[in-house]
Amino acid sequence: MMLRAGQQLLLPAKPVFIWGSLVAALALSMLGNFVLWGRASWAPDLLALTLVFWGVHQPRRIGMTGAFLFGLLMDVHQGSVLGQHALAYSVLSFFAIAVHRRILWFPVSGQTLQVLPILAAAHVVTVAVRMMLGGQFPGWSLLMAPLIEALLWPVATLLLLLPQRRAPDPDANRPI
């Protein structure tokens, strides 16, 4: 793949960092559910955002199996129907991997618009499973969650690509 003008060549992502960021996103999602906003329907799902990010940037390292396992952990944490988040995260991961080459050609602002339908699909799956099993509709504030997550995409891109932007051995004579 050819680099565009001004685009930096990135170092390979370390698996420890990838999995560590996913565990950190799971912990932040759990913290948000306990302390910050409770189980509000508008609350962003940081784990879903991180799964989409790594599904787009490292599709061979984070697949649907990892997304399914993190979904089961989120189901157990929230006390929801076992498999609800697992199915949503698997669908999310599938779509992210399916369009990862296309998304990477856009600048970060364009990627935000490309990621929005993927994040919205995960929320639709979660609500559909909940309602099929007799749950109530959480309200129209649910539409805010994928919008907030999409707006957090540039922040996630900045933070999660930061370790890859460093030069392995900086030198004044080396352009990369």
What pLDDT shows up at residue 36?
66
pTM value is 0.87
| Alpha-helical regions (H) of 79-164 | 84-98, 100-104, 108-132, 144-151, 153-161
Contacts of 89 (CB under 8 A, 6+ apart): 47, 48, 51, 67, 68, 70, 71, 74, 122
The per-residue pLDDT string of the chain (176 residues; one tens digit each, 9 = 90 and over) reads 565 665 667 778 889 999 999 999 999 988 887 776 667 778 899 999 999 999 999 998 888 999 999 999 999 988 888 889 999 999 999 999 999 999 999 999 999 999 999 999 999 999 999 889 888 888 888 889 999 999 999 999 999 998 887 665 666 776 55
| 112 touches 154 (CB < 8 A) | yes
Cα–Cα distance for residue pair 151/70, rounded to 1 Å: 23
What pLDDT shows up at residue 37?
67
What pLDDT shows up at residue 87?
95
- Both tokens of 125, joined, read 């799956």
Q: Enumerate the domain spans of the chain.
A: 15-163
Cα–Cα distance for residue pair 36/95, rounded to 1 Å: 29
What pLDDT shows up at residue 134?
84
